[in-house]
């Protein structure tokens, strides 16, 4: 069983400060939900930099290689036709299609990698921890194993940072 402690705040400043304080007191910050991007929240949560840029670059290189190889194979190996005296493996003629396959693979690969990594796949039902969570509230979800979770400390930290409401939720794995 896991115990979740859900804390709601009115503004982002209290959310960021409370998140840092919870992490300092060895609580595990599972997630934070905000109606807009909050500067400094990623550092307060201890998140690592995203690897999505590297994944996008890798898919772009794959698209470039497939685009160039596909055109070379089609025009020079599979169906070599002399059109206007051009060579069969004309690299400048391959660039527009290679550029398009680079962009296509980078875009689609990044989207699929993001969906796969975050688990936001079609048909998946989201867990809703608090009502109006991304409408006008700033919500912080903490988690700990049941034996080591200290609710009194969590409530004290929450009230120190002007939490609007907080509640506990038990969930079996």
144: domain CATH number is 3.30.70.260
Co-location of 58 and 45 in the same domain = no
Co-location of 130 and 45 in the same domain = yes
Co-location of 112 and 136 in the same domain = no
Co-location of 106 and 78 in the same domain = yes
Sequence-distant contacts of 133-138: CB under 8 A, at least 24 apart: 133/33, 134/33, 134/34, 134/35, 135/35, 136/35, 137/8, 137/9, 137/10, 137/33, 137/35, 137/164, 138/8, 138/9, 138/10, 138/11, 138/12, 138/14, 138/15, 138/32, 138/33, 138/34, 138/35, 138/38
pLDDT in tens, 63-74: 999 999 999 999
pLDDT in tens, 97-129: 999 999 999 999 999 999 888 888 778 887 777
Burial of 118 (0-12, 13-18, 19+ CB in 10 A): exposed
Co-location of 143 and 162 in the same domain = yes
Co-location of 130 and 74 in the same domain = no
Co-location of 98 and 144 in the same domain = no
> Which ranges of the chain have pLDDT less than 50?
none
Do 1 and 172 touch, CB atoms closer than 8 A?
A: yes
Co-location of 24 and 58 in the same domain = no
Q: For residue 19, what are its two tokens?
A: 């998140």
Co-location of 91 and 136 in the same domain = no
Q: For residue 118, what are its two tokens?
A: 């975050």
Beta strand ranges found along the chain (DSSP E): 2-9, 28-33, 138-145, 165-171
Q: What is the mean pLDDT of the chain?
A: 86
How many domains would you assign to the chain? 2
Co-location of 35 and 85 in the same domain = no
Co-location of 24 and 77 in the same domain = no
In terms of residue numbers, what domain contains 75?
A: 54-118
């Amino acid at each position: 069983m896991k115990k979740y402690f859900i804390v709601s705040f009115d503004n982002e400043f209290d959310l960021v400060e409370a998140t840092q304080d919870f992490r300092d007191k060895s609580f595990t910050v599972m997630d934070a939900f905000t109606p807009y991007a909050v500067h400094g929240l990623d550092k307060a949560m201890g998140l690592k930099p995203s690897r999505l840029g590297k994944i996008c670059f890798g898919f772009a290189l794959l698209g470039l290689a497939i685009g160039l190889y596909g055109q070379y194979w089609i025009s020079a190996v599979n169906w070599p036709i002399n059109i206007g005296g051009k060579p069969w493996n004309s690299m400048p003629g391959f660039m527009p299609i290679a550029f398009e396959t680079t962009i296509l693979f980078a875009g689609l690969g990044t989207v699929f990698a993001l969906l796969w990594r975050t688990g936001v796949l079609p048909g998946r039902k989201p867990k809703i921890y608090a009502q109006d969570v991304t409408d006008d509230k700033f919500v912080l979800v903490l988690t700990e194993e049941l034996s080591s979770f200290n609710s009194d400390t969590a409530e004290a930290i929450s009230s120190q940072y002007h939490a609007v409401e907080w509640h506990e939720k038990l969930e079996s794995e």
